[in-house]
């Protein structure tokens, strides 16, 4: 008997398996990270207690995690929304920065508006800035089929350099020393806090956007047409759905969501345009959308867990664990989660087959 192993795609994983695999993946990542810390001369148990208290096990830690999760939810949604029409939006970083630039421009040059209206105008400008930045990549993709991955990726660097031009140039604060940032925004342009907490209302906006994006893409006829265009372009063309138009609209919506993340970071965290306003939020959104397997509502859960890892790694460094080790542990957990995703998608199939032996005649009769 011969034994062969081959990978087979699962037709569907049970609920118990979908719960158990991510949990075991996180545990496996933590165990592997503990080994790394032990090799570095650190006590893994004490370190993980600090991670828990710094990210989820205390009020301040939980609030820090939720604040960090806000832009991650939006950039993850930006990627997952574009995936609905078969596009990979790798430009969340640039679209977030474009949104922050547009919001800053409104705050600096339309300061005569009443504070509540000015804040709303800045948020809308953030969405518009991100949408325009994404549309620049969407139009050549729709017209001549130019790869949107390359365009959106390169436009990230253009947005960063344009921001540097502004904060080192016309928008720069003359009082800045050692660190470039824009002039201060008018009073009253900071996002209000949720009563009784240290959380700004940006987290509520992110939740509403997630629910709205899910409803638009999953519960409306237009969302169904987008999914058809992304899943079967030939069928969409046969039905006359207008694929090019939908590509541009969906990628613009995707950019608007990422641009809103930039406006929220500006008005809820930094309060002025500055270098580092995005700590790789756009690139992290790609990973978050992948971990959520493109499901819009699952993006929120993946973003929250990712934010807990990031905030926990900050707390880990306060225990004396070097930053590279903290990054390695974070990466190990993500790798185990990705491996768990593969387990949910495929299974090993063991097959046995009889060997067919051919017996050749040894000779003829005399």
Q: Which residue has the higher pLDDT, 39 or 360?
A: 39
Q: What is the pLDDT of residues 329-358, one digit of tens each?
A: 888 888 888 888 888 777 777 766 555 444
Helix axes 44-55, 296-317, angle to 10 degrees: 130
Beta-bridge partners for 80: none
Pick from 21-30, 236-245, 334-343: least confident: 236-245
pLDDT at 36 over 80: yes
- The token duo for 245 is 């138009």
pLDDT at 240 over 80: no
Residue 60's φ and ψ, nearest 5 degrees, are -65, -40
Other residues' Cβ atoms within 10 Å of the Cβ of residue 335: 14
CB 258 within 8 A of CB 74: yes
If DSSP codes are grouped into helix, strand and coil, which group holds residue 47?
Answer: helix
CB 32 within 8 A of CB 354: no
Residue 362's φ and ψ, nearest 5 degrees, are -80, -20
pLDDT at 193 over 90: yes
pLDDT at 57 over 60: yes
Which residue shows structure tokens 């365009």? Answer: 151
Nearest by Cα to 44 from 66, 56, 27: 27
pLDDT at 365 over 70: no
Which domains does the chain show, CATH number per domain? 7-42+322-347 (no CATH), 67-320 (1.10.3470)
Q: How confident is the model at residue 364 (pLDDT cuts 50, 70, 90)?
A: very low
pLDDT on residue 249: 94
pLDDT on residue 237: 76
Q: What integer best gives the mean pLDDT of the chain? A: 88
Q: What is the pLDDT of residues 113-157, one digit of tens each?
A: 998 999 999 999 999 999 999 999 999 998 888 889 999 999 999
pLDDT at 41 over 50: yes
Q: What is the pLDDT of residues 58-99, one digit of tens each?
A: 999 999 999 999 999 999 999 999 999 989 999 999 999 999
CB 235 within 8 A of CB 228: yes
Question: What is the pTM for the complete model shown?
Answer: 0.88
Q: Which residue has the higher pLDDT, 13 or 139?
A: 139
Beta-bridge partners for 172: 182
Pick from 281-295, 311-325, 342-356: least confident: 342-356
Report which secondary-structure segment, H or E, holds 13.
none
Average pLDDT over residues 234-250: 83
Q: How confident is the model at residue 200 (pLDDT cuts 50, 70, 90)?
A: very high
CA dist., res. 83 & res. 149, Å (int): 12
pLDDT on residue 366: 41
């Amino acid at each position: 008997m011969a034994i062969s192993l081959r990978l087979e795609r699962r037709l569907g994983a049970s609920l118990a398996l979908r719960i158990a695999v991510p949990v075991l993946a996180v545990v496996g990542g933590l165990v592997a990270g503990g080994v790394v810390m032990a090799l570095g001369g650190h006590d893994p148990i004490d370190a993980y207690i600090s991670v828990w208290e710094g990210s989820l096990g205390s009020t301040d830690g939980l609030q820090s995690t939720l604040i960090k999760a806000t832009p991650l939810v939006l950039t993850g949604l930006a990627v997952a929304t574009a995936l609905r029409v078969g596009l990979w939006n790798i430009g969340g970083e640039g679209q977030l920065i474009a949104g922050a630039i547009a919001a800053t421009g409104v705050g600096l040059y339309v300061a005569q508006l009443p504070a509540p209206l000015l804040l709303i105008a800045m948020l809308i400008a953030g969405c518009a800035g991100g949408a325009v930045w994404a549309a620049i990549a969407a139009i050549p993709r729709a017209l001549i089929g130019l790869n949107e991955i390359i365009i959106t990726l390169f436009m990230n660097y253009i947005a960063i350099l344009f921001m540097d031009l502004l904060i080192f140039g016309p928008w720069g604060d003359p009082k800045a020393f050692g660190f470039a940032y824009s002039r201060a925004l008018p009073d009253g342009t900071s996002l209000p806090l949720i009563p009784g907490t240290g959380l700004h209302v940006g987290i509520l906006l992110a939740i509403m956007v997630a629910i709205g994006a899910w409803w638009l893409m999953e519960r409306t006829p237009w969302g169904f047409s987008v999914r058809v265009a992304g899943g079967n372009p030939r069928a969409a063309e046969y039905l006359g759905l207008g694929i090019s138009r939908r590509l541009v609209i969906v990628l613009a919506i995707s950019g608007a969501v990422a641009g809103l993340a930039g406006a929220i970071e500006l008005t809820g965290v930094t309060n002025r345009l500055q270098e580092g306003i995005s700590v790789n939020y756009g690139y992290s959104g790609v990973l978050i959308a992948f971990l959520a397997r493109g499901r819009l509502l699952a993006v929120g859960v993946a973003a929250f867990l990712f934010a807990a890892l990031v905030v926990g790694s900050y707390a880990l460094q306060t225990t004396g664990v070097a930053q590279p080790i903290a990054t390695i542990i974070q990466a190990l957990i993500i790798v185990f989660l990705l491996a768990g995703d593969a387990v949910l998608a495929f299974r090993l199939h063991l097959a046995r087959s009889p060997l067919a032996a051919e017996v050749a005649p040894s000779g003829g009769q005399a």
